[in-house]
Structures are given as structure tokens and as C-alpha cells.
């Protein structure tokens, strides 16, 4: 087989890249080791920046998002028992975020790809990017007992943190930066109306909590828990009782509980790979960087990577220019590190850190008090939360 761009990974970043390339007239094939059902079954984030919304529109995958997504003009910070609203829309000159689940984004991208008859190979095993430091890269994989090879001009590694693409990069040419946090997020998904029409980020003496949502009838809640906790340690009843203890009286009274559709514990880490290009293989999304979910940046960073990469490939094929692919890594990393900083800052400000003591608690309270009572502080949070522009 022969294609122009071989994309490894059929998550939202790989699917979005494939659709953007198709719209630009660039042939591509996606190779995914898991089944389509498995990819759709992964529960992930649900806050989309305007950049991501615009890219989905450009990809022709925004119809259902526009019908069912929930535009949000603000968020609420809860500390010392009281909520304080951050007016995202007013502080950023009219920008907002869209609440729409990553699962739904993935489903929409799968459907438009299928409608166009584009090739996606699911359940491919032993996927290997090869010869990517030459001008004739290939992707090899096994399917139905046979070895297949795709010749291509470029390889896009959109296969996530545990994928083969970053692992295949020459060890003498790659550098990683990592921070692991001493806690995780216990998440619960339920078919219950959200406790508030906007997200609530809570800093409490019992630990962080987040009240989020996927729709007007489906909610997603999170609790900070020790890394030693197991999902089976937490019954639905125990989760709801602990969440109530971390909310203000009004939210506690408005909380509607119900059986969980899914519960899981996710550890928190900050991780960046430099560079994001190795010859003719380019890393994008979680393959290159991970952020703690506190800043709602994971999917949005992946989308901005894909935005840069699709533009770079378009310039290469339409203008015979390599300028975009040459600056891809530097361009992405500039944005990545700003999002890493914001996510680290939000995490540091809102969570309980074991062994940090009362001094750290007082500093957090002072930081939160400054943010909600300073227009400059509120604006800085707001402009980072809605997403910095692509430059």
C-alpha cells in the first residue's frame, strides 16, 4: 500500500488529522491497534477551547457538537466554603469554551471518516514505524495473520502516551521532562443533571473536587484521592457522601445522585518530549505530552498539534515548502509549555499536597483570594483557560 501520510493512532488527534488532511486533498491511512469500540469506550475530557471547535468545523465534524454541546461563559472556584465566578466571556473579549465529551468528538470524527470512505485499519498488531529518518518511511503491522507494509511520505504518531512512535525515536535524540503528582482523580460518570450550569473547581481541607458535565442530563464528578486507593474501595454511596463534604451548602443541596455509569482513578502527571519531530515522523498529542486534567488542556493541546501539522503538510504538498514541517516541533512546544505551566499552576493551587503543611495551604488561599479579587489575576486565568491563540 502507498499513501502520503500514515497516521498511527485512531483517537481524536489521529482522526482529526486524517480529516483535515482529506479536506486539503492529502491522502492518508490510519492504523490503530485497538478496535473501534475500544477507542470509543475510553472516557476522557469534555471541555473544548475555541481553537478545537474551529478545527472540528474545518474538518466537517461539528454538526452534532453545535446541536448538543454546551457553551460555557464562566467557571466557579470554591474555597473556604464559598464560590466565586470567573467570567471567561467578559474577561477575554467574548471567548468561551464548549462542554462536549471527548467520546462524542471521537464518534463524530469516526462517522465523517466512514462517510468519506477513508481507510482506517483497526485491530492492527505489532505496528512499527520504520525508516522514518530516511526519505522513504514505512509503517509495518500485522492483521489477520499477515504482515502488511504502508509506504508513505510522512508518519504521524498520534498513538498516545504508551504508543510505539515515541518509543521508536532514537534515544540519543530525545529528551523527556516529567513531574508525577502524589495523588489521583477518582472520576464518576452518572446520568444525573449537573449540580451547576458551570464547572465548579473546589479547594477544600478534605482535598480537591471538580463538578463537571457532559450534557444537560449527564454529569462527571472527580475527587482527589491517594494513589494507594483502588476503585473497588469506593462504592457509589461513598463517592457521593465524600463529594457532598467538599461542596458548599447550595451545591450540596442541589446535588442529584444516582448509579455510576463508570468509575476510574487516573494518576496525575506532567510530561513533555522534546523534540516532536524525528526525520519524517512527527509526534502529536499524548504521544508527545501529558498534562494534569486540572486545566482542561489534554485534548485541546492534541488538537492544536494537529492544526499545526495539517497546515505543515498542506504547505509541503501545495506550496512545495518545508518551512512548516521544519518549525513544527518548535511551534508546538512553545504552546505546549505554556499549557503545561497553566495546568501545573491550577493543580498546585487547588489540591492538597501531602507533607506540604499549613504554609502551603495559606499560600493557596492567598493565591485564590488574589485571583478572584484582582481583574489582572482573573484575566490571566481566563485567557489561559479558554485557550491561547495559535501563533
Q: Is the pLDDT of residue 277 over 90?
A: yes
**How many angstroms separate the CA atoms of 344 and 191, rounded?**
31
CA distances from 67 to 52, 70, 140, 213, 300 (A): 16, 9, 40, 16, 20
Q: What is the pLDDT of residues 48-67, one digit of tens each?
A: 999 999 999 999 999 999 99
Least confident of 75-79, 181-185, 211-215: 211-215
Tell me the pLDDT band of 44, cut-offs 50, 70 and 90.
confident
Whole-number average pLDDT of the chain: 96
> Do 104 and 227 touch, CB atoms closer than 8 A?
no
Do 182-268+352-386 and 5-49+60-69+100-178+269-347 have the same topology in CATH? Answer: no
Mean pLDDT of 216-225: 95
Average pLDDT over every residue of 115-141: 97
Q: Which residues contact 41 (CB under 8 A, 6 or more apart)?
A: 103
Domain ranges, ordered by start, for the chain: 5-49+60-69+100-178+269-347, 182-268+352-386
Alpha helices (H) along 265-356 = 298-319, 323-350
pLDDT of residue 334: 96
Bridge partners of 155, per DSSP, are: 6, 281
- CB of 368 within 8 A of CB of 203? yes
Q: Look at residue 41 in the predicted model and tell me its pLDDT.
A: 84
- C-alpha angle 23/11/129, rounded to 5°? 85
Question: Percent of the chain at pLDDT above 90?
Answer: 95
Q: What is the mean pLDDT of the segment spanning 204-215?
A: 95
Closest CA to 385 of 36, 51, 27, 68: 51
Cβ atoms within 10 A of the Cβ of 1, count? Answer: 13
Give catalytic residues, as residue numbers: 72, 201, 293, 297, 385
pLDDT exceeds 90 at position 43:
no
Q: What is the pLDDT of residues 360-388, one digit of tens each?
A: 999 999 999 999 999 999 999 999 999 99
What does the pLDDT average to over 111-134?
97
Going by their DSSP bridges, the two strands 47-48 and 200-203 should be labelled as unpaired
pLDDT at 389: 87
Mean pLDDT on 134-147:
96
Q: What is the pLDDT of residue 164?
A: 97
Give dist(CA 358, CA 276) in Å, integer.
Answer: 40
Query: What is the dihedral angle through the alpha carbons of 107, 112, 116, 117, rounded to the nearest 10 degrees?
Result: 0
Q: 76, 84 in Cβ contact below 8 A? A: yes
Q: What homologous superfamily is domain 182-268+352-386 in, according to CATH?
A: D-Amino Acid Oxidase, subunit A, domain 2 (3.30.9.10)
pLDDT at 45: 73
Mean pLDDT, range 349-353, rounded to an integer = 97
Q: Which of the listed CATH numbers 3.30.70.3190, 3.60.21.10, 3.50.50.60, 3.40.710.10 matches domain 5-49+60-69+100-178+269-347? A: 3.50.50.60
140's enclosing H/E stretch is strand 138-143
* Percent share of the chain, pLDDT over 70: 100
pLDDT recorded at residue 354: 86
- Give which of 345, 389, 352 is closest to 370, Cα–Cα: 345
Evaluated on CA atoms 60, 61, 64, 66, the torsion sign reads: negative
List pLDDT tens digits, range 297-333.
999 999 999 999 999 999 999 999 999 999 999 999 9
Half-sphere exposure of 72 (CA within 13 A, CB side): 27
Q: Give the model's pLDDT for residue 82.
A: 96
* pLDDT in the model for residue 262: 93
Mean pLDDT calculated for residue range 178-184: 97
Report whether pLDDT(391) > 80: no
Say if residue 198's pLDDT is above 90. Answer: yes
Q: Count CB-CB contacts under 10 A for residue 196.
A: 20
Amino acid at each position: 500500500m502507498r499513501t502520503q501520510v500514515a497516521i498511527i493512532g485512531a483517537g481524536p488527534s489521529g482522526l482529526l488529522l486524517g480529516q483535515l488532511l482529506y479536506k486539503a486533498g492529502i491522502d492518508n491511512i490510519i492504523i490503530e491497534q485497538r478496535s473501534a469500540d475500544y477507542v470509543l469506550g475510553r472516557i476522557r475530557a469534555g471541555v473544548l477551547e475555541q481553537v478545537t471547535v474551529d478545527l472540528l468545523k474545518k474538518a466537517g465534524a461539528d454538526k452534532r457538537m453545535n446541536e448538543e454541546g454546551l457553551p460555557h461563559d464562566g467557571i466557579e472556584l470554591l474555597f473556604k466554603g464559598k464560590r466565586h465566578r470567573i467570567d471567561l466571556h467578559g474577561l477575554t473579549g467574548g471567548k468561551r469554551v464548549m462542554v462536549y465529551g471527548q467520546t462524542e468528538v471521537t464518534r463524530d470524527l469516526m462517522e465523517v471518516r466512514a462517510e468519506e470512505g477513508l481507510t482506517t485499519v483497526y485491530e492492527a498488531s505489532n505496528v512499527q514505524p520504520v525508516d522514518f529518518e530516511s526519505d522513504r518511511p514505512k509503517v509495518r503491522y500485522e492483521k489477520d495473520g499477515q504482515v502488511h507494509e504502508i509506504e508513505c511520505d510522512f508518519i504521524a504518531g498520534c498513538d498516545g502516551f504508551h504508543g510505539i512512535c515515541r518509543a521508536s525515536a532514537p534515544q540519543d535524540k530525545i529528551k523527556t521532562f516529567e513531574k508525577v503528582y502524589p495523588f489521583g482523580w477518582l472520576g464518576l460518570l452518572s446520568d444525573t443533571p449537573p449540580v451547576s450550569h458551570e464547572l465548579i473547581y473546589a479547594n477544600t481541607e478534605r482535598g480537591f473536587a471538580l463538578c463537571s458535565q457532559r450534557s444537560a442530563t449527564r454529569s462527571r464528578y472527580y475527587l482527589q484521592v491517594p494513589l494507594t486507593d483502588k476503585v473497588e474501595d469506593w462504592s457509589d454511596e461513598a463517592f457521593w457522601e465524600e463529594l457532598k463534604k467538599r461542596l458548599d451548602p447550595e451545591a450540596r443541596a442541589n446535588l442529584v445522585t444516582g448509579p455510576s455509569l463508570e468509575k476510574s482513578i487516573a494518576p496525575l502527571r506532567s510530561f513533555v518530549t522534546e523534540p516532536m519531530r524525528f526525520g519524517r515522523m512527527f509526534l502529536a498529542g499524548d504521544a508527545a505530552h501529558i498534562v494534569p486534567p486540572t486545566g482542561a488542556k489534554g485534548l485541546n493541546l492534541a488538537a492544536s498539534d494537529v492544526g499545526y501539522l495539517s497546515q505543515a503538510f498542506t504547505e509541503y504538498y501545495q506550496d512545495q515548502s518545508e518551512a512548516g514541517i521544519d518549525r513544527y516541533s518548535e511551534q508546538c512546544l512553545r504552546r505546549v509549555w505554556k499549557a503545561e505551566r497553566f495546568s501545573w499552576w491550577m493543580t498546585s493551587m487547588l489540591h492538597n499536597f501531602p507533607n506540604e503543611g499549613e504554609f502551603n495551604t495559606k499560600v493557596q488561599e492567598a493565591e485564590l483570594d488574589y485571583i478572584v479579587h484582582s481583574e489582572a489575576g482573573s484575566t490571566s486565568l481566563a485567557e489561559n483557560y479558554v485557550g491561547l491563540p495559535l501563533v
